[in-house]
Every structure is written in structure tokens, then in C-alpha cells.
Amino acid sequence: MGDLFIWILSFFILIALIVLLVFQLMCLADLEFDYINPYDSSSRINSVVLPEFVVQGILCLFYLLTGHWIMALISAPYLYYNVRLYTQRQHLVDVTEIFNLLHREKKRRLFKLAYLVVLLFFDIFWMIWSAIEDDDD
């Protein structure tokens, strides 16, 4: 039963990460269609970038501490990518360059979103597997 709660908690953490990325994509789409100015868009995106990185780090650490090594290995490249962006200081959106980098930023976030959706499917699979396994006992 404890494994099921771990997968449910992991599920909600992944949903929170997906919501953060969808928010960033919405801000970029609003900027592309000129519904919002560059300053507001970049400040909204920059305000959720670090929480996204922290939550992803917590999720990877959570997988390691609970002994789910495969999920930790699957989420490690995403964590490495975030750490690399942070150490190279490319994690924030620049107000003056946001129009020039708009398509790259959208592609970057869409790739992250696709990666998280794959993680979510794995999480749902293991959650169902744990529920069936607990039901057999």
C-alpha cells in the first residue's frame, strides 16, 4: 500500500511540473500573438523557472530515496539538462532577446513537456501496477 501512495504523490508532482510548463508555453504564445508585452511575459516565465527546477530536483531525489531506480534514471537526463541550463545561466528569458529566441524557447519547453508526459505515463503504469499488486495480496 505504501508503494501506491508513493506513485500517487509522484503523479501529483508530475502534474505540477506539467502545469508550470504549460503556463510558460501560454506566456510565450501570448507574446507571439501580441496579447502581452515582452517585459510581462519574461517576468512571468522567469518567476516559475526556478520553482520548476527545484520541483524536478525534488522528484528525482524522491525517486532515489524511495528506491525507484528506473524512474530516477529516466528522470535524470531532464534534471541534468536543467542543471546545465542553470550553471550556464541560460535558464532565464531575457526581455531584450525574447522575440529573437521565441521559437527556440517554445521548442525547448515543448520538448520538456513531451518528456514529462512520457514520465507521467510511466508513473501511471507503475501506479496501476502497484494497485493491482496490492489487491492480489
Indicate the number of domains in the chain: 1
pLDDT number for residue 104:
95
Q: Would you give per-residue pLDDT tens digits along the chain (137 residues)?
A: 788 999 999 999 999 999 999 999 999 999 999 899 999 999 999 999 999 999 999 999 999 999 999 999 999 999 999 999 999 999 999 999 988 999 999 999 999 999 999 999 999 999 999 999 887 76
The span from the CA of 8 to the CA of 83, in Å, is 26
Phi, psi for residue 95 in degrees, rounded to 5: -65, -40
pLDDT number for residue 137:
61
Residue found by looking up cell 525517486 in the block: 63
C-alpha cell at 112: 520538456
pLDDT number for residue 1:
73
Find out whether 42 and 98 touch, Cβ atoms under 8 Å: yes
How many helices (H) and strands (E) are present in the chain, helices listed first?
A: 4, 0
- Polymer length in residues for the chain: 137
pLDDT number for residue 135:
76
Return the ∠ at Cα 66 (arms to 65 and 67), rounded to 5°: 90
Under DSSP, the state recorded for 99 is T
Alpha helices in 1-137 (DSSP H): 2-32, 38-66, 69-87, 102-136
Task: Note down the domain range covering 63.
Answer: 1-136
